[in-house]
């Protein structure tokens, strides 16, 4: 487990891409940070817990709503 300090405008899928190389793990990051579950866009300086990269790949893009692609 590690931490990540946000920059202005960070969103969960971007953070997932930055730390895992894949934006599909946004739900795992959100679940590890329940105090920020309702945050859509972060201000700078918010420290998030980043869980170890899951062994299983993120869900198929085919099941992802179009607005999240």
Does residue 42 lie in a domain region?
yes
Structurally, how many domains does the chain consist of? 1
Does residue 69 lie in a domain region?
no
Does residue 68 lie in a domain region?
no
pTM: 0.81
Helix spans in 1-69 (H): 12-20, 26-31
Does residue 23 lie in a domain region?
yes
Does residue 62 lie in a domain region?
no
What is the sign, positive or negative, of the torsion defined by CA atoms of 8, 15, 27, 53? negative
Contact partners, residue 15, CB within 8 Å, separation at least 6? 4, 6, 26, 29, 48, 50
Residue range(s) defining the domain that contains residue 10: 2-54
- Taking only the tens place, the pLDDT of each residue in 11-67 is 999 999 999 999 999 999 999 999 999 999 999 999 999 999 988 877 665 566 666
């Amino acid at each position: 487990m590690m931490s990540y300090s946000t920059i202005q405008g960070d969103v969960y899928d971007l953070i997932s891409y930055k730390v895992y190389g894949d934006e599909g793990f946004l739900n795992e990051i959100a679940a590890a940070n329940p105090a920020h579950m309702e945050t859509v866009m972060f201000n700078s300086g918010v420290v998030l817990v980043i869980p170890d990269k899951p062994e299983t790949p993120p869900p198929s893009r085919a099941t992802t709503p179009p607005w999240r692609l």
